[in-house]
Amino acid sequence: MNPSMFLPGLFVAACLAACDDSRVVGDEDTQFFSVPLGSTFALNREITIQPHQTSVYLQNGKILLARNVDFYRPHCKFELFTISDQARVVAPDIFVVTRIVDRREDVSVRWPLYASLSLTGGNGPMHLTYSTTMYLDSKQQPDVFRMNCKQWDWINIGEFLSISEMRQSLGDYFTLTLAE
């Protein structure tokens, strides 16, 4: 093998290895750092789920009705599995994250929406929901189902929420502790 051909390849490989910056992966302010499995959400105070509802929305540390949520800003939806005719209270508890699903879905803002090749003049979606769904487990409250943190954003430049944005949405209702 000719060493003059081997050395440039070795140089490129060394440069790429030197560019590895694992601090980005551990940065809670970036969308590229995910909540690890086994992390926990500690509910710090009671939350009441209204009759005929399965969830509450949290944004900027406040519980809001769905109609009051700014869907273009970070928010989380805390969900139970079943619906009831009665109001239900979720007591303070620790919920373990057992599964995580990151998803981008079309936002329907007008009815009906049709597929289009145009981003400006067509009837197709202009926004996507960037959501991280964390399935939760509790032995004391098995009806607790999941935490879904998300926002609407532009198709080409949208981002998933960072862990810091999730924490800001949850306020002091929940404490998110990341698994090691």
- What pLDDT, on a 0 to 100 scale, did the predictor assign at position 160? 87
Q: How far does Cα 132 stand from its chain's mean position?
A: 3
Burial of 7 (C-beta count, 10 Å sphere; 0-12/13-18/19+): exposed
Burial of 31 (C-beta count, 10 Å sphere; 0-12/13-18/19+): middle
Q: Please, are residues 173 and 47 in contact by the beta-carbon 8 Å criterion? A: yes
Instruction: Supply the range of the domain harboring residue 140.
Output: 36-177
Q: Decide if 166 is inside a domain.
A: yes
Q: Decide if 25 is inside a domain.
A: no
Between 110 and 36, residue with greater pLDDT: 36
Q: What is the mean pLDDT of residues 78-107?
A: 94
- Residue showing tokens 């998110």: 176
Q: Decide if 27 is inside a domain.
A: no
Its pTM stands at 0.75
- The two tokens of residue 136 are 């939760």
Residue 32: band (very low, low, confident or very high) from pLDDT cuts 50, 70, 90: low
Q: Decide if 18 is inside a domain.
A: no
pLDDT in tens, 98-156: 999 988 887 655 544 455 544 544 555 567 888 999 999 999 999 999 999 999 887 77
Helix (H) or strand (E) holding 8: helix 3-18
SS3 87: coil
Q: Decide if 14 is inside a domain.
A: no
Residue 131 pairs in a beta bridge with 103, 150
Q: Decide if 46 is inside a domain.
A: yes
Between 157 and 6, residue with greater pLDDT: 157
- CA neighbours closer than 13 Å in the CB half-sphere of residue 119: 6
- Residue showing tokens 């209702």: 173
Q: How many domains does the chain have?
A: 1
- What pLDDT, on a 0 to 100 scale, did the predictor assign at position 17? 46
Q: Decide if 23 is inside a domain.
A: no
Q: Decide if 119 is inside a domain.
A: yes
